Amino acid sequence: MRKPTLLVHTLLIIVTSLFLNTSFAAIEKAIFAGGCFWCMEPPFDKLDGVISTTSGYTGGQQKNPTYYDVSSGRSGHVEVVEIVYDPAKVSYEKLLNVFWVNIDPLNNRGQFCDNGSQYLSAIFYLNEEQKRAAEKSFETLKQRGKLKGKIVTTIRPAEKFYPAEEYHQDYYINNSLSYKYYRYRCGRDSRLKELWSSRKES
């Protein structure tokens, strides 16, 4: 299954919203950074109410960055996943819960085996409601005290989102063996189990 082009992707969202009798105005977006964007699509794709996920870049000043630009660490951008969802079926708070248990919020160097500012974890809020929800979830996680260390995930205002190249979209589907090998080699699941084994959301 190939990820549709941006135009087809937009049309798909509109048609899907009509088919599901969902108001287009009610469809919302969320943007999360959790290291390698290949690994951040699957946990959200499986949620009822999520319409699409798109790997991309945001947070920097460079216009139309390429993967090479971002991976160099000099563009200022980070790898993110943009989620289009129906808030009548899945809440932003639920998305936040899934986000947290799929990252290492204690890592101030990047995520898992990937080091560099382009892999830092972050929540990019698109409005004040999302900002309040993100801050509340951050404080709740902090107060529980189950994580042994300082939570370094940042909460930032959303900036222009740039979709990543076509070959990055749905990578875990289109290149499943390569994806699984990368994920295993990176130690992502073992670290997630260490952090979240008692309260895994996805």
Q: How far is the C-alpha of 54 from the C-alpha of 133, rounded, in Å?
A: 22
For strands 122-125 and 154-157, give the pairing. Answer: parallel
Lookup: tokens for 45:
């794709």
Give every CB contact of residue 194 below 8 A, 6+ residues apart in sequence: none
Lookup: tokens for 114:
């990937």
Contact 99, 155 (CB under 8 A): no
**Among candidates 170, 125, 98, 103, which has minimal Cα distance to 28?**
125
Active-site choice (36, 39, 113, 186): 36
Q: How far is the C-alpha of 179 from the C-alpha of 117, rounded, in Å?
A: 22
Question: How many beta carbons lie within 10 A of that of residue 188, not counting itself?
Answer: 22
- Concerning whether 36 is annotated as a catalytic residue, the answer is yes
Lookup: tokens for 56:
């991309």
Active site residues: 36
